[in-house]
Chain A
């Protein structure tokens, strides 16, 4: 131990700034030593936790398998099952244990089928985990709410639907996404009704998740989506366009043609591409009539549509010819491509007419490539 007197005499003539620096150096030294020690503890704990997770998973897996196979015929719980439930309740006090147990339950749920899945869902409820998950929905922390909804979805807890519905317009996108998926996973296409209440956005990432969930449904009865194509929420319209595409809903043609004049350019672009995908011939004239008001991306999409659906020389030939010298490369290529399809002699004739090297390159390329 250094005597305090010695420390005082060491710092005696130091300016205050140097004293501060020395104090900092000493503090840093102790912080450093603590960090090194703490790092060792952390690494040890992480290793221990890894082992713990492994052993507990095995233990819970055995418990669950025993529970599932101790009473395959009756819907009533027998004494063995009750005993397992009591034992599990005692060991699921710590949140880490609950986490491991839920993961094990989910793993097994993925491996079994039929009635076993219902039994697993019931076990989740019998252990009080559903009630706990529901109580998470009242948390102030967004990630706790999201965990709650996720677990309620995974174990099909229908009773929570009113509470989950309140999260549809939550400020955090992760919570909203879990709420959307809850309704889709539990109610299938009927769950899409959440779109009626939606005030916030649905990202493309959300759309991917929802469509994936829908495609996994046993019944594929798509509801009438037309009301959502005229929704005031642009994100609902954008998502509905994806639904129309995914399920080839050609009966929405009338609504789609109206969307060509929508204020939102993203909706317009997606609509044009969708009209192309659905091969809606009536779209050609509507698009040609509004062509000048469209953005470049939309104009390219129009030409893609014309190339795909085909062009009548008498009706749209002049329109195409007008754009073979377009400044937009993609439009020029598409216009020339269409011209080649509808009037090959005119197309070949262009070779002699043009003296622009870039145009000649495109013409030569199109001539050699179908």
Chain B
């Protein structure tokens, strides 16, 4: 066999590897869409028999601590805390962890909620940065649910760990302080923990929705609007796809690896047993879920990570590309760190669905996707220079990929329409479809760029941490 034949076969193998990868991506999306449909129908059916009012007055309602870390949130912190305090649930408290803010967040909270410093016995089961100004509670009985902890800066994970140490309840809802929680969100999130008798529910995650352009008054969502800014519109589709198709399907398979850091509820004892949030990663939300699951598998305890598809938590999405890229860069680094930290799980039958399905999927189609895609682009560019491209072949591949991508997004839109139907105004359907068509062309390249940057930063810029996320705030003034 001469050199040119060898080269021919090498190229052929490369082509087929790319093809096989694309086919597997397409196949996995199709399978996820089917599972998602099944799970959505099942959820809606089950939910139609639920009366959430029962739990409001019940003495059996378990205690929940909402833990919200805050760093330099002075602008909106008073309103955000008010929103958290207005949840419809009988037995909960709100722990705001001021993570070494350098602005006047603490002063504003003290003033607004009439706080006073109290002695508080903390069982430091998880090592954290020390308390700075102390623990504060309100003198006003109307705010008796509020606990404010001021500590030295240690990052979001460290602040959440302080909350875990302080909480006296069995369940903790970890949220971003600037998120808007629906009034019934705690009732819905706690339900899975109370309804399973054959397994222990260790965590439940909710859908995160984008609140930009929505009307919010006094910490309450009044009206949902489809935003005008293209970047935000495209992110809405991404979120719909991720939450209503991807996570819904993984929930059916009991294979969820991530619960959004913006809003998730955990069994506190398990969270503490595994050591709380990992302060050494920027993907602490994914990492803790993987660690908790790993612990349950190793202990051979039947468990579930539940998922609630209702729109329970609304957050502000980045409105400019710089912030967006920084956010996605962090998500990529978080994924790499978590998968690396728990690599022993991958393809390990001891970990059942986690090891044989969830982990390999995340590795192949989340971790490796940007790398494969970039390699594909480089290879294509090389081909452009060294030999003639068969454009009629290439066009076929491009169209198949593009159309399948839009179809998958439209399936997410359908799921939204048949379930929660949030974008019901006239014209918004057209805007959703239009966004679905332009998203692969406009947003995906940016997501890819951010992921590549995340990979580079992970390997060559180890000191990079969270990065700044500039927010305008959700409250309409």
Contacts and interface: CB of A to CB of B under 8 A. Distances in A.
29 contacts: A18-B396, A21-B396, A25-B396, A25-B403, A32-B403, A32-B406, A32-B410, A35-B411, A36-B410, A38-B414, A39-B410, A39-B417, A39-B432, A42-B418, A46-B421, A150-B49, A173-B195, A174-B46, A178-B49, A203-B196, A204-B62, A205-B191, A208-B54, A208-B194, A212-B54, A235-B197, A242-B60, A362-B121, A369-B119
Contacts of A329: 123, 125
A40 B194 contact: no
Chief secondary structure at chain A's binding surface: helix
B109 to A, nearest CB: 23
B413 interface: yes
Interface in A273-320: none
Interface residues of B, number: 45
A236 to B, nearest CB: 12
Contacts of A203: 194-197
Contacts of A177: 49
| Closest 4 A/B residue pairs (Cβ) | A28-B403, A201-B197, A25-B399, A205-B195
A246 interface: yes
Contact of B407 (A32, A245, A246, A361): A32
Interface in B390-441: 392-393, 396-397, 399-400, 403-404, 406-407, 410-411, 413-414, 417-418, 421, 424, 429, 432-433
Given A39-B433, A361-B121, A369-B119, 19 more contacts: A10-B392, A22-B400, A24-B404, A28-B399, A29-B399, A31-B407, A32-B403, A35-B407, A36-B410, A36-B433, A174-B45, A177-B49, A201-B197, A202-B197, A204-B62, A207-B60, A211-B58, A245-B59, A329-B125
A246 B424 CA distance: 45
Interface residues of A, number: 51
B374 interface: no
A175 B288 CA distance: 35
Contacts of A18: 393, 396
Interface string A358-370: 0001100100110
Given A24-B400, A46-B424, A146 B195 contact: no
A39 B49 contact: no
Interface of B: 19, 45-46, 48-49, 51, 54-55, 57-62, 119, 121, 123, 125, 191, 194-198, 392-393, 396-397, 399-400, 403-404, 406-407, 410-411, 413-414, 417-418, 421, 424, 429, 432-433
A365 B120 CA distance: 8
Nearest to B393: A18
A39 B414 contact: yes
Contact of A35 (B55, B121, B410): B410
B276 to A, nearest CB: 15
A125 B113 CA distance: 56
B417 A43 contact: yes
Contacts of B62: 204
A149 B379 CA distance: 63
A28 B49 contact: no
Nearest to B397: A21
Nearest to B418: A42
A29 B55 contact: no
A28 B407 contact: yes
Contacts of A365: 119, 121
A32 B51 CA distance: 39
Contact of B58 (A29, A46, A208): A208
Interface in A187-212: 201-209, 211-212
Contact of B396 (A22, A40, A46, A202): A22
A39 B191 contact: no
Given A43-B429, A143-B45, A174-B49, A204 B396 contact: no
Interface in A118-136: none
B62 to A, nearest CB: 8
A47 interface: yes
B426 to A, nearest CB: 8
A1 interface: no
A178 B49 CA distance: 8
- Most chain B beta-carbon contacts within 10 A, residue among A22, A25, A205, A235: A205
Interface string A32-67: 100110111011001100000000000000000000
A42 B414 contact: yes
Nearest to B429: A43
A211 B61 CA distance: 12
Contact of A205 (B48, B194, B406): B194
Contacts of B396: 18, 21-22, 25
A369 B410 CA distance: 60
Given A204-B60, A208-B61, A47 B195 contact: no
Interface in A13-30: 14, 17-18, 21-22, 24-25, 28-29
A173 B433 CA distance: 39
B344 to A, nearest CB: 29
A208 B197 contact: no
A333 interface: yes
A42 B417 contact: yes
Contacts of B57: 212
